[in-house]
Structure 1
Amino acid sequence: MNIPLFKQMMKVNMKSVMNYAFGSAFYILLMFGLYPSIAQNSDSINDLLQSMPEGMGRVFGVEGGLGNIESFISGEYYGLILILILSIFCVLLSTKLIAKLVDQGSMAYLLSTPTTRGKVAITQAIVLVTGLFLIMAVTTISGFVGYAWFIKDGSGFDPSRFIELNLAAFLLFFAVSGISFLVSSISNDEKRALGTSGAITFIFFSLDLLGKLSDKIAWMRNLSIFSLYRPSEIAIGDGNLVRASFILLVIGLVSFGIGIQVFRKRDLPL
């Protein structure tokens, strides 16, 4: 890793990273703030959920009802809002760190310094993962702050499950980041890299979403890495976090590794 490059890239991108982090913090605090009023009407809401088709409950991550705060935020926040925030972040930053620099000619200046392509690629990958880690760290801390601030009765909150929710989200988007980084590493055009990474992420998400709608097309979830991320199951203590975490970690590491090797070997329009 190139330490001066890492410091410079973090400095350049820190404002963007913190904007995503504070945006995530705002929404999770909002969820905790809304929960007390939701909990007062939980029986009516659960009756409504039970009257809906089974697939709709899976789509919104509330098939287990709203029995506790984890069930509520897993469906309302971790099942959709956080996915949107982190998908945009991973696709945009991975493209900015490699493909944009190549497209604009800035990569030539980086490679003219006493460093190697491999070190540049490794450094950019670490910048991406560090940004993702910071967002999830702020989100996790904000969740505990929101619980202490808004949830007065002290019931229905399991800190270990909440940490598992955030760990699962981090590992999912570690894998998404790796795939987006790989696309960025093989692209010379910023717009093409951005479009391809965005399309891959959207297709994965859509396959998982469609597979939840009906048992007849549930096989579609097997084609998506998003099927390994099941916040509603984690919230009720029924998720296989170890297996899913291992697979997502391997996907991320392999994707980053291939991206770094491809960037080292390929011809660049410098």
Structure 2
Amino acid sequence: MLEFARYYGRRRVKGALAMTAGFALLVALYVWMFPSVSEGIDLDAYTETLPPALREAFGLQSLGTIEGFLAAELYAFGWVLLLGVYFAYAAAGLVADDVDRGRMDMLLSLPVTRSRVLLEKFASVLVPLVVVNVVTPVVVALAVLGIDESISLADLAMVHALSVPYLLVAAAVGLLASVVFDRASVAQRVAAGGFFGLFLIDSVTAGTDVAALGALSPSRYYDPTAILVSSEWDFAGAGVLLAGTLVLLAASRTYWQRKDVA
């Protein structure tokens, strides 16, 4: 069982380690910068001069604390935007890449169902998801300790735990694009651009009369600033993201089962 998930998961190990190493270096850079930046500038006063939409989009709150600084510089940008787009882009190649390269016919000639192939390929994205969310909080905790600051370990663990449903729904967006489009490059552009577009909708409409449109965006349900700065753990939002993932998986499965593979 799960032979496809293990096979494709092993192929993602090197990429997951490289991505995690990159985020570890980013963490070290931000934490190293914090003492000099926070002492030389009144970051909270500076934040108040910025447009409300910008503050809302990137969680610019309490920048004078290590929690607020990391929430804005690392998590609101690195996790919500970069990792979200990355997982949407990566998942968009799960099916479309094999179809594009003419390998899917051979794969489906095996005694396996289409649903199994689809779901086990999707399961392979758990490798980078788990690796980056296990290693990064350890690096953050050690780096913060290294500059004689402190951060709530419970909030730090929760900001990563609650990012899992968010990144899963990003990958599910990519999977849907992957079964709809036969060319991997098209599927990846649509998935990455679409997910970024959803982020923009939430950012641009925040605090306006059409703020309800932001409910379509996964970023509405994952707020790292609220977790790290205010210790607000939004389990209801995580539930919405998990439900969205299941809906997208079901839609992808239904479309994939009915689709002719050229």
> What is the TM-score of this pair, normalised by structure 2?
0.89
Gaps of 5+ in 2: none
Structure-1 separation of matches of 2:51 and 2:187: 38
Residue pairs, 1:155-174, within 5 angstroms: 155=150, 157-174=151-168
Q: 1:249 aligns with which of 222, 232, 242?
A: 242
Tell whether the 8 Å contact from 2:88 to 2:192 is kept in structure 1 after alignment.
Answer: yes
Q: Which moved more, 1:82-91 or 1:250-259?
A: 82-91
The residue identity in structure 1 corresponding to 2:183 is D
Q: 1:58 aligns with which of 51, 56, 59?
A: 56
Question: Secondary structure at 1:61's aligned position in 2?
Answer: coil
Mapped pair 1:175 → 2:172: no
- Deviation of the 1:111 alpha carbon: 1.8
The residue identity in structure 1 corresponding to 2:185 is K
Deviations 1:124-152 (A, max 9, x none): 0110233222222222222223223x231
Structure-2 separation of matches of 1:202 and 1:175: 13
RMSD in angstroms over aligned alpha carbons? 2.2
Tell whether the 8 Å contact from 1:183 to 1:196 is kept in structure 2 after alignment.
Answer: yes
- Deviation of the 1:48 alpha carbon: 1.9
Q: 2:182 aligns with which of 173, 179, 188?
A: 188
What is the match of residue 151 of structure 1?
Answer: 147
Structure-1 separation of matches of 2:22 and 2:250: 30
Q: 1:124 aligns with which of 116, 121, 125?
A: 121
Residue 202 to residue 56, structure 1, CA distance change in 2 (3 Å): closer
Structure-1 separation of matches of 2:83 and 2:244: 17
> What is the TM-score of this pair, normalised by structure 1?
0.87
- Deviation of the 1:184 alpha carbon: 0.8
Runs of 4+ deviating beyond 3 Å? 51-56, 214-220
Q: 1:73 aligns with which of 53, 70, 73?
A: 70
The residue identity in structure 2 corresponding to 1:81 is G
What is the match of residue 209 of structure 1?
Answer: 203
Q: 1:222 aligns with which of 203, 215, 229?
A: 215
Tell whether the 8 Å contact from 2:88 to 2:172 is kept in structure 1 after alignment.
Answer: no
Mapped pair 1:2 → 2:22: no
What is the match of residue 264 of structure 1?
Answer: 257
Structure-2 separation of matches of 1:165 and 1:12: 27
- Deviation of the 1:240 alpha carbon: 5.0
Residue 37 to residue 246, structure 1, CA distance change in 2 (3 Å): same
Structure-1 separation of matches of 2:107 and 2:88: 22
The residue identity in structure 2 corresponding to 1:45 is L
The residue identity in structure 1 corresponding to 2:88 is V
State percent identity of aligned pairs: 21
Residue 53 to residue 99, structure 1, CA distance change in 2 (3 Å): closer
Question: Secondary structure at 1:52's aligned position in 2?
Answer: coil
Tell whether the 8 Å contact from 1:2 to 1:115 is kept in structure 2 after alignment.
Answer: no
Tell whether the 8 Å contact from 2:96 to 2:181 is kept in structure 1 after alignment.
Answer: yes
Structure-2 separation of matches of 1:232 and 1:124: 32
- Deviation of the 1:104 alpha carbon: 0.9
Q: 1:90 aligns with which of 46, 68, 87?
A: 87
Gaps of 5+ in 1: none
Question: Secondary structure at 1:34's aligned position in 2?
Answer: helix
Residue 53 to residue 95, structure 1, CA distance change in 2 (3 Å): closer
